[in-house]
Amino acid sequence: MLKTMKVVASGRMRQPAFDLLDAETTLYPWQKGGRMPQDAFDELLAEADGLFSAGNIRIDEALLAKAPKLKVVAQASVGYDNIDVKACQEHGVRIGNTPGVLVDAVADLAYGLLLDSARMIVRGHEHVKSGAWGEHKGLGFGVDLAGKTLGIIGLGAIGSAVVPRAKASKMKIVYHNTHRRADEAELGVQYVDFATLLSTADFIMVMVPLTEKTKGLIGAGEFAMMKPSARLINTSRGKVVDTMALYDALKEGKIAAAALDVVDPEPLPGDHPLLTLPNITITPHIGTSTVETRDAMSLLTARNILAALAGKPMPAEVFAK
Ligand code: DGY
């Protein structure tokens, strides 16, 4: 029955999602990588009932105006800061995202970046590759995780999954949220106010979604409150941290190091000033990039589309706050 419904994809989808949507709907995929060319995309949008967003486009009033029949936008990501939720609601377009299925993958990468910020794993590799090993040009020393405090700003599902990983390294965990969690004791974490977290944590992990309120949450003032030995880890969204303030903080030794999977801007140009610093590791927004997790995200996105087109509850629906 849904076969008459047209679904357009803004970018590549994983095979399980492709197979499902292709079997159930009239699918207009884009499997070549990158974005579907704008002209072709606009033409298909005019007739589309559903949009599979690979997270590579803005979904705003301008797009919605070109898609009069659109009923659902499902995006293969948990973050949806590129989607104007209010505009979608006004156009009667439902929104789906992919929480849950990516938690462990992102928590693993966040923990990996935490380790790297303490032990200079990437720098060590570069050191060996440059032929410097054995020339007595040491890397310097890292720091232990055991006994140190990890401060998580925004302790949600992903932050909670980092907790047992950090506990395996014998860390103490404090957190700050707008709403204090009821399961603190069960998780083994301690609530502190924002200023206390910034001024006492040895490792500061940013886990908040990007909203108008969290944009630039970590700027010059916040870096000034951190310990000179502090290390910053960000796997949420680049714009939560003020890039130039971070550059200054790392260059002037206001903090010791940073390890980031997300930056502002993305993609980061290869000649960006951040990349000239010795005390930073940057990965290209790969928090969810594992075979299993990307398959699960893609499949959940397809299921969100099918449920919405059938007028049923979506497995993961985003509502305007
Ligand atoms: C997410 O799911 O939000 C990841 O950051 C990928 O965009």
Q: What pLDDT, on the 0 to 100 scale, is given for residue 233?
A: 99
Give the residue among 104, 19, 94 at the shortest CA–CA distance from 64: 94
Residue 137 has pLDDT above 80, yes or no: no
> Choosing from 14, 237, 294, 303, which is the catalytic residue?
237
Annotated active-site residue 317? The verdict is no
Instruction: Give, for ligand 1, the residue of 12, 98, 102 to mutate: max count of ligand atoms closer than 8 Å to Cβ.
Output: 102
pLDDT value of residue 307: 98
**Exposed, middle or buried: residue 311 (CB in 10 Å: 0-12, 13-18, 19+)?**
exposed
DSSP helix/strand/coil, 143: coil
CA of 79 to the centre of ligand 1 (A): 5
Confidence of residue 33 (pLDDT cuts 50, 70, 90): confident
| pLDDT value for 1 | 75
Who lines ligand 1 at CB under 6 A?
Answer: 55, 77-79, 102, 287-288
Look at residue 135 and tell me whether its pLDDT is greater than 90: no
The answer to whether 12 is a known catalytic residue is: no
**pLDDT for the residue numbered 138:** 78
pLDDT tens column, 285-318: 999 999 999 999 999 999 999 999 999 999 999 9
E strand intervals along the chain: 6-9, 26-28, 50-53, 72-75, 94-96, 149-153, 172-176, 190-191, 203-206, 231-234, 257-260, 280-282, 317-318
**Residue of minimum CA distance from atom 6 in ligand 1:** 77
Cα 275 from Cα 259, distance rounded (Å)? 12
Q: List 26's β-bridge partners, or say none.
A: 6
Say which of 14, 285, 294, 303 is annotated catalytic.
285
Residue 136: per-residue pLDDT = 64
Please give the average per-residue pLDDT across 2-30, as a whole number: 97
Structural domains of the chain ordered from first start: 2-101+291-318 (3.40.50.720), 103-282 (3.40.50.720)
Which pLDDT tens digit goes with each residue over 58-74?
Answer: 999 999 999 999 999 99
Render pLDDT for 230-261 as a digit per residue (tens, 0 to 9).
Answer: 999 999 999 999 999 999 999 999 999 999 99
Residue 23: pLDDT over 80:
yes
The string of pLDDT tens digits covering residues 144-199 is 999 999 999 999 999 999 999 999 999 999 999 999 999 999 999 999 999 999 99
Q: Which atom of ligand 1 is nearest to the CA of 76?
A: 2
- Cβ atoms of 73 and 95 within 8 Å: the answer is yes
Distances in Å between the Cα of 191 and the Cα atoms of 152, 163, 173, 180, 214 are 10, 13, 9, 7, 19
Q: What is the pLDDT of residue 211?
A: 96
Active site residue 91: no
Q: How far apart are CA 54 and CA 300, in angstroms?
A: 12
Ramachandran sector of residue 17 (left: φ over 0; alpha: ψ -120 to 50; beta: rest): alpha
Q: Exactly one of 61, 90, 184, 266 is catalytic; name it.
A: 266
d(C-alpha 276, C-alpha 268), whole Å: 13
How many percent of the chain have pLDDT more than 70? Answer: 99
Is the model more confident about 33 or about 283? 283
SS (H, E, C) 167-230: HHCCCEEEEECCCCCCCHHHHCCEECCHHHHHHHCCEEEECCCCCCCCCCCECHHHHHHCCCCC
The whole-angstrom separation of Cα 200 and Cα 203 is 9
Centre of ligand 1 from the C-alpha of residue 17, in Å: 17
Mean pLDDT of 77-90: 97
The candidate with the shortest Cα–Cα distance to 257, out of 141, 169, 165, is: 141
Distance CA 166, CA 150 (A): 8
Q: What's the mean per-residue pLDDT of the chain?
A: 97
Q: Name which of 39, 8, 13 is nearest 25 in CA terms.
A: 8
